Structure 1
Amino acid sequence: MATTILSSAQSAVKNWWISLLIGILYIIAGVWVFQTPLASYVSLSIVFSVFIFVSGISQIVFSISNKSDIQGWGWYLAGGILDLIIGVLLISHPLMTMAILPFYVGFWLLFQGFMAIGLSFQFKSVDVPNWGWLLFLGLLTIVFSFLLLANPVFAGLSIVYMTAMAFITAGVFRIFLAFGLKKIKKEFS
């Protein structure tokens, strides 16, 4: 028997709304970055640091609150711990953050994109509609992460716009994920 998060969900997935909240926060961050392209690069690094930190805490809470309901909850916990560590590093070293922000953003988005792809196939295995959108958004997130990693010296508006698009695609993925989890909760309750 498969040990995926979705095939093992015998009871309701609690706190599906946390993913929705994270998605909304990512989209707000992306829109803010689009609306203030000339804002200080320092502001972008601070905002990004705080969002990664909050995302880590939220994922840790989600994984711990669902550990008895889903197998593989440790992957959510690992992702949350990774986000929390990256958030703490970014917040505690603002000058270093400005210099290596594209690498942080790129690798963080790469992890998020691969997680999205894995979850989309798990959604497909239990016949959740619109799983293809999750796959598409995961692939799009990976494309943006590679663009950031391939051009870390590329400063100015292009890094701002790529970061904004990456936030928005990651946010849309989280919203689709939340509604997929909500659907699973209804089916198993």
Structure 2
Amino acid sequence: MPDFYNTYWWIFLLRGIFALILGILAIGWPGATFATLIVFFGAYLFIGGLFAIVGAIAARKTNENWSIFLFSGLLGVILGFLTFYNPFATGAALIYLVAFGAMVAGLFELIIAIRLRKVITGEGWYITGGLLTIFFGLLLVANPVAAAVTLTWVFGIYAVITGIMLILLSFRLRSSRR
């Protein structure tokens, strides 16, 4: 019985190539609008979801976890479609989600730093880090346009790294198939 990952190594390759191209476009297109990036993100979700669905259907007889791939693929297709339907709402939601996540993470860093006062010295740096993380979240909310530009660059770097990792993974899977 063939192993799913080794047999369908090319799915990882295609996803990696698409992510790499998307990341290069996001980094190299500084004049592009945030809405364009969101549409690219929606395309990535949609196409990645389609690949995951194809892989899940192909693996349903050989992989007991095929339903996880199917669910992931369906979710990607739905989110991609919703992004195409209203990219501005998706962009705004993304900015506020990242801002809220930063503020919550900063708050947890503060709580941990205060608790660490009994265990270590120099916890002031961790407190400073928590305050900076909260401040970052507040800056994103206060200036969503700058946040959109910043998130564009961060997403581009993320997509390039992810694309390279998926491409390398696909080659390793392909070579281990022999």
| TM-score, length-scaled by structure 1 | 0.62
Q: Deviations over 1:95-137 (max 9, x none)?
A: 312211346799xxxxxxxxxxxxxxxxxxxxxxxxxxxxxxx
How many angstroms apart in 1 are the aligned matches of 2:3 and 2:90?
A: 40
Aligned residues: 135
Q: Separation in 2 of the partners of 1:22 and 1:51?
A: 9
Gaps of 5+ in 2: 100-132
| Pick aligned residue for 1:180 from 152, 172, 175 | 172
CA–CA distance in structure 1, aligned partners of residues 162 and 172 of structure 2: 15
Higher-Rg structure is 2
Bigger share in helix: 2
List runs of 5+ in structure 1 lacking aligned partners. 1-9, 107-146
Equivalent position to 2:60, from 41, 51, 67:
67
The answer (yes or no) to whether the contact 1:30–1:166 under 8 Å persists in 2 is: yes
Structure 2 Cα separation of the partners of residues 173 and 83 of structure 1: 20
The CA distance in 1 between the partners of 2:19 and 2:158, in whole Å, is: 9
Work out whether 1:11 is the aligned partner of 2:6.
no
Kept after mapping to 1: 8 A contact 2:34/2:149: no
User: If the length of structure 2 is used for normalisation, what is the TM-score?
Assistant: 0.66
Q: 1:81 to 1:103 in 2, by over 3 A?
A: farther
- Structure 1 contact 19–175 (Cα < 8 Å) conserved: yes
Secondary structure of 1:58's counterpart equals helix
Contact 2:95/2:148 (<8 A) preserved: no
Partner AA of 1:51 in structure 2: Y
Question: 1:7 — aligned with what?
Answer: none
Describe the shift of the 1:51–1:160 C-alpha distance in structure 2 as closer, same or farther (beyond 3 A): same
- 8 Å contact kept, 1:34–1:164: yes
Query: Where do 1:55-134 residues align within 5 Å?
Result: 55-102=48-95
Q: 1:34·1:160 contact (CA, 8 Å) conserved in 2?
A: yes
Structure-1 separation of matches of 2:58 and 2:97? 28
Pairwise CA RMSD of aligned residues?
2.5
